[in-house]
Structure 1
Amino acid sequence: MKVKIAISEPPEVIDPLITDLAACIAKSKRVLVITGAGISCSGGIPDFRSSDGLYDLVKKKHPDIVLRGKELFDAMLFRDEKQIKCFYTFMAELKRLISSAAPTPTHAFIQKLKQNGQLLRCYTQNIDCLEESIDLPVIQLHGSMNKVKCTLCPATYKFTTRMENQFRRGVAPPCPQCTIVDCERIRQGKRSLATGTLRPDVVLYNEEHPNGDIIGQMQTSDLKKKPDLMIVMGTSLKIPALKKFIKQASRMIHATKTGRVIFVNRTQATKEWEKVFDYEVLGDTDHWVKIIEKKMADEKTMAAAVTRLKRSISSVSDEDDKENTIASGTKKTVTLNVSSSKQTTLKGFRVTKSAATTKRTKTA
């Protein structure tokens, strides 16, 4: 069964669904969390796909350059000197916003999962590092805006205000390590080498993650630990590598029969994810966290809901075992055809339950 929820109706309307959803979280022991830009918006950082204000500011500084939002995060821009200047200006303005931003209720919710011993791992696409101020460890899939790195050598440095001001002018500071090495070579009478420049330590489109192999090993390790819940929040699900991991984790979770996968985002997922998510919550992640935490604080209701959920899962498992026993003791073939769905639409609030209809074909 898949449940789709759009958060806007009164509590009494969504209460049964929220109760079940909260019970799934309460009973979980090994939770994977995947986050995107949507969880940081309320903290003061705009979603890159809708942050017209930030793009407009960059366009005013570089009116002769036309770059779409995605192109500002594409490594191909380093082929054009003018686009490079535009990139650095954008990164400086983004750093300014990040410096004054704060963790959101969604960040705090993930931290509570960690404190409760439920969090297996949190993977984030975000580069804002808001998790650091609340001591929430995450795997940064797209790098960090707290550091800069050299374009030639392995050196990395803290992203300072001085560097931010240089970037804002479209200037890339020279790498101190490369400069030291070059000066030493010249002192020794050797030929001068190219000096790298500094750039934010973020992973752009069309470039490999420097820690990609390590992240891949961690993902494999996490799947072997058999997570029983995955929460995907604030992401539009556009990055191929992350999509692959979410689907792999989903198959592992669903193989347990008791595991669930939750998607929370302002816009709905495409049909590609129809069999991946058990719960699809359409709305702001902070709003969702607030109503979930309120429900989980009601210990009596939660205890009853968790018990009911376990009985429901046990009942389904018993039915499956019964079907398997019958099938193994006869020469009949049973074909299940999942096709129909029933949708109820309320004002601003949708609940979709996919119901399996069975068509049985008997053969001798």
Structure 2
Amino acid sequence: MVPTFRSKDGLFSEGGKEMFFHTSTPTEEMQQSRKLGELAEKMIHAVPTPFHHILADLSERGKLHRLYTQNIGELDTCFEYLKADLYEKACFQKVANPHIWTIQLHGGMRTTRCHIAGHIDQLNPQALINGRQETLLCAPCSIRSAEQARKRRKRRKRMGLGLGIKEANIVMYNKNPNDNKSERDTGFIQYDADKVPVDLVIVCGTGATLVGIKDLIKTMSTNRASLWINTEEPPKIPGFTFTHK
């Protein structure tokens, strides 16, 4: 069973929040890798909820314009009509792409990203659990010749770095997301807020405790009908007046 994060008995209540902070020492990295691997294994075996099926059905019928999600388990993107843009390429020419339904604000636990070159690969939970560096080396980085690696790192201004390490493709609390992701997400938000006429903004599941999420809700909900689905009252957000809860 995948634990919730911020509920009374959730993962954070047991001290699990530290696994989502970027670490730098080898010992901390191994501990973090093991915990993330164990969480990823649970997420991979999880199944979508009825609400996920409702979202997928709405999207398939053309009734859902976009899904912005904080969830990193990727149960939503398992559906054909809730696919995300896995590779997060430069975004502005793709903002209006009708085949990108889901924006993963915090990334996802089913893929890894090379911390140097940005290569995307499928996440292997056991590799993270074992924590052996040789299993976490980025394969494309490893097979490049020394000259190819030197030229590529020079272009990226990464001359002093070694081979890339595969990390869970999620946003850490104390680490800025990669530039492409920040640019891509901002582009989608601006486009959806300014250019897309929608009948209803649904805010579901989140407690909206993070400043960035509050700003997103404010941006999307201003002058639009909105629906709050949660067991708790929403926080006070300027411009957000829910029509039902």
Both proteins in one fold, TM over 0.5: yes
Query: Could you tell me how far apart the structure 2 residues matched to 1:236 and 1:268 are?
Result: 9
Report the Cα offset of residue 201 of structure 1. Answer: 0.9
**Structure 1 counterpart of 2:118, from 134, 141, 154:** 154
Query: Could you tell me how far apart the structure 1 residues matched to 2:137 and 2:62 are?
Result: 44
**Structure 2 counterpart of 1:228, from 186, 195, 199:** 199
Q: Does 1:237 align with 2:194?
A: no
Query: Could you tell me how far apart the structure 1 residues matched to 2:121 and 2:20 are?
Result: 20
Structure with the higher fraction of residues in strand conformation: 1
Q: What does 1:1-364 align with in structure 2 at a 5 Å threshold?
A: 44-50=1-7, 68-75=15-22, 78-135=23-80, 136-137=82-83, 138-160=102-124, 164-172=125-133, 173-181=136-144, 194-210=162-178, 211-223=181-193, 224-253=195-224, 260-270=225-235, 272-273=236-237, 276-281=240-245
Amino acid at match of 2:217: I
Report the Cα offset of residue 182 of structure 1. Answer: 5.3
Equivalent residue of 2:54, what SS?
helix
2:4·2:11 contact (CA, 8 Å) conserved in 1? no
Between 193-202 and 100-109, the greater mean CA deviation after superposition: 193-202
1:250·1:276 contact (CA, 8 Å) conserved in 2? yes
Query: Could you tell me how far apart the structure 1 residues matched to 2:207 and 2:217 are?
Result: 13
What TM-score, normalized to structure 2? 0.76
Larger Rg: 1
Q: 5+ residue gaps in structure 1? A: 1-43, 57-66, 254-259, 282-364
Query: Could you tell me how far apart the structure 2 residues matched to 1:175 and 1:220 are?
Result: 34
Query: Could you tell me how far apart the structure 2 residues matched to 1:200 and 1:215 are?
Result: 19
Shift in CA distance, 178/147, structure 1 to aligned 2, threshold 3 Å: same
1:90·1:168 contact (CA, 8 Å) conserved in 2? yes
Q: Report the count of equivalent residues.
A: 212
Identity score, percent: 28
The structure with higher relative contact order (CA 8 Å, sep 6+) is 1
Report the Cα offset of residue 107 of structure 1. Answer: 0.8
Query: Could you tell me how far apart the structure 2 residues matched to 1:266 and 1:71 are?
Result: 26
Structure with the higher fraction of residues in helix conformation: 1
**Divergent runs of 4+, >3 A:** 50-56, 182-186
Deviations 1:94-153 (A, max 9, x none): 111112111111111112222332211111111111123322231111112121111222
The two structures, once aligned, show a CA RMSD in angstroms of 2.8
Query: Could you tell me how far apart the structure 2 residues matched to 1:183 and 1:174 are?
Result: 15
Query: Could you tell me how far apart the structure 2 residues matched to 1:100 and 1:277 are?
Result: 37
Shift in CA distance, 69/268, structure 1 to aligned 2, threshold 3 Å: farther
